[in-house]
């Protein structure tokens, strides 16, 4: 496969380390230079018996599909990360493995890892059911194809972090082979390398037999998924992510603001600036609640350290801004992306960032207050219908 891994990081923190016993999810999506990432809300899409994904066509789900919000490279069908209205969130990472022939050949156009993210969100009502959706489709169709619109040499296998309000799953793959680890407390992060070793809770059919038959395992001793299939990873960023989570959870009060801070950490390369060859093109933070309100925050712009996280809540009449949806043209720059790039390249960029951070802080305080008073039996969500749209409009006015 192609050269050394490039950045992306996904995180989850669970009770008892979180504020109000919520589940906090976060992801930075680091993608090729100038690739635009859009944020879209899909409530009801046109359905047929077949579904065209980025490269291949598969059977459509016979069951109703979930409403979803996605942060996605504008050119592809799939998504780097997102959430559904059942409190499930998913992010994926590129991983490079030693299993690169036949069904493991990622140069072949199959399902992209990003397609699997979207399919898991559309069809999964819990983290575990989304995991089952992804692994079933992976075993049936395989994974592969160029992961960049203009670079055919950019291809890889995938790992995933899937969470709901009760638990999380780390899913790591090599071709059609996979292993999954269940996380019920504490914290976990994934970067661009395999992390699952001898402890896993689910695995692909015939994993041990296939690994031995293809020479990745000698059939002796405890089976180690990473040892069998890893061909390298960014150990430094993985360790830095672990360190940041450890420090942030020391007081058992980890919340949305703390996840923002992790995703904005530059020294670790978890946050990569707009001038990087692989910048952070979009970021997501989600707070998941079992009996209250779940809120999903998206930047829809590159580099979270100079971006404004804007909240979204699934309501019966939810809307997102048309200014975060890309036009179908070669550059694909949506309005917010263009204005963000224009104003942060000017001398007053730091002042703009300061104002955005103040806006974000006020918004976070208001949302947390709303959440603390929220009663699913009596509270109305009508006032949150245009939450993200209004925040985007405010940001655009600032740039204007």
How far apart, in whole angstroms, are the C-alpha atoms of residue 152 and residue 149?
Answer: 8
SS3 162: strand
Q: What gap in Å lies between CA 33 and CA 213, rounded to an integer? A: 40
What does the alpha-carbon distance between residue 78 and residue 54 come to, in Å, rounded to a whole number?
Answer: 7
Q: What is the pLDDT of residue 399?
A: 92
Provide the pLDDT for residue 6.
62
Q: In the beta sheet, which residues pair with residue 287?
A: 24, 295
Q: Which helix (H) or strand (E) holds 97?
A: none
User: What is the DSSP code (8-state) at residue 103?
Assistant: G
The string of DSSP letters for 178-245 reads: EEEEEE-SSEEEE-SS----S--SEE-TTHHHHHHHTTS--S-SS--HHHHHB----HHHHHHHHHHH
Tokens of 262: 């992790």
205 touches 132 (CB < 8 A): no
The number of C-alpha atoms within 13 Å of 305 and in the hemisphere containing its C-beta is 15
Q: How far apart are CA 386 and CA 310, in angstroms?
A: 11
CB 68 within 8 Å of CB 42: yes
Q: Return the domain boundaries, the chain.
A: 9-399
The crossing angle, in degrees rounded to 10, of helices 387-399 and 349-373 is: 160
Check: CB of residue 24 under 8 Å from CB of residue 285. Answer: yes
- Residue 2 has a pLDDT of 43
Question: In this predicted structure, what is the pLDDT of residue 344?
Answer: 86
Looking at residue 348, what is its pLDDT? Answer: 80
pLDDT in tens, the chain (400 residues): 444 546 699 999 999 999 999 999 999 999 999 999 999 999 988 899 999 999 999 999 999 999 999 999 999 999 999 999 999 999 999 999 999 999 999 999 999 999 999 999 999 999 999 999 999 999 999 999 999 998 888 899 999 999 999 999 999 999 999 999 999 999 999 999 999 999 999 999 999 999 999 999 999 999 999 999 998 877 889 999 999 999 999 999 999 999 999 999 999 999 999 999 999 999 999 999 988 899 999 999 999 999 999 999 999 999 999 999 999 887 899 999 999 999 888 778 899 999 999 999 999 999 999 999 999 888 899 999 999 999 999 999 999 7
Match domain 9-399 to its CATH number in 3.60.60.10, 2.40.50.100, 1.10.287.70, 3.40.50.2300. Answer: 3.60.60.10
Q: How many residues does the chain have?
A: 400
- Tell me, what's the pLDDT at 235? 84
Active-site positions read: 8
Residue 198 neighbours by CB under 8 Å, 6+ apart: 222, 223, 224, 225
């Amino acid at each position: 496969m192609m050269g050394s891994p490039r950045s992306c990081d996904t995180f989850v923190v669970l009770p008892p380390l979180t504020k109000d016993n919520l589940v906090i999810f976060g992801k930075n999506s680091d993608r090729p230079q100038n690739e635009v990432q859009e944020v879209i809300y899909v409530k009801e899409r046109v359905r047929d018996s077949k579904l065209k994904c980025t490269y291949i066509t598969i059977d459509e789900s016979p069951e109703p599909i979930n409403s979803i919000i996605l942060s996605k490279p504008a050119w592809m069908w799939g998504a780097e990360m997102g959430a559904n209205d059942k409190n499930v969130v998913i992010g994926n990472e590129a991983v490079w493995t030693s299993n690169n022939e036949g069904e493991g050949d990622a140069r072949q156009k199959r399902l992209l890892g990003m397609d699997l993210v979207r399919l898991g969100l559309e069809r999964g009502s819990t983290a575990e059911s989304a995991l089952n959706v992804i692994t079933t489709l992976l075993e049936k169709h395989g994974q592969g194809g160029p992961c960049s619109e203009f670079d055919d040499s950019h291809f890889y296998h995938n790992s995933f972090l899937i969470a709901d309000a009760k638990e999380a799953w780390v899913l790591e793959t090599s071709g059609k082979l996979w292993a999954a680890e269940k996380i019920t407390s504490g914290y976990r992060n994934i970067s661009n390398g395999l992390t699952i070793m001898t402890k896993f809770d689910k695995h692909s059919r015939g994993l041990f037999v296939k690994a031995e038959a293809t020479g990745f395992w000698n059939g002796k001793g405890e089976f180690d998924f990473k040892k069998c299939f890893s061909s390298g990873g960014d150990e430094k960023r993985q360790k830095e992510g672990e360190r940041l989570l450890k420090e942030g959870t020391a007081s058992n009060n980890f919340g949305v603001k703390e996840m923002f801070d992790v995703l904005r950490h530059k020294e670790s390369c978890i946050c990569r600036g707009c001038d990087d060859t692989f910048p952070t093109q979009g970021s997501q933070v989600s707070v998941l609640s079992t009996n209250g309100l779940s809120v999903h925050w998206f930047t829809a712009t590159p580099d979270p350290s100079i971006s404004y996280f804007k909240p979204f809540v699934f309501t019966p009449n939810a809307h997102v801004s048309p200014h975060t949806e890309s036009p179908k043209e070669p550059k694909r720059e949506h309005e917010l992306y263009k204005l963000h790039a224009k104003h942060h390249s000017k001398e007053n960029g730091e002042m703009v960032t300061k104002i955005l951070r103040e806006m974000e802080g006020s918004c976070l305080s208001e949302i947390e207050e709303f959440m603390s008073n929220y009663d699913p039996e009596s509270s109305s969500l009508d006032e949150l219908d245009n939450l993200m749209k209004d925040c985007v409009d405010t940001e655009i006015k600032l740039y204007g």
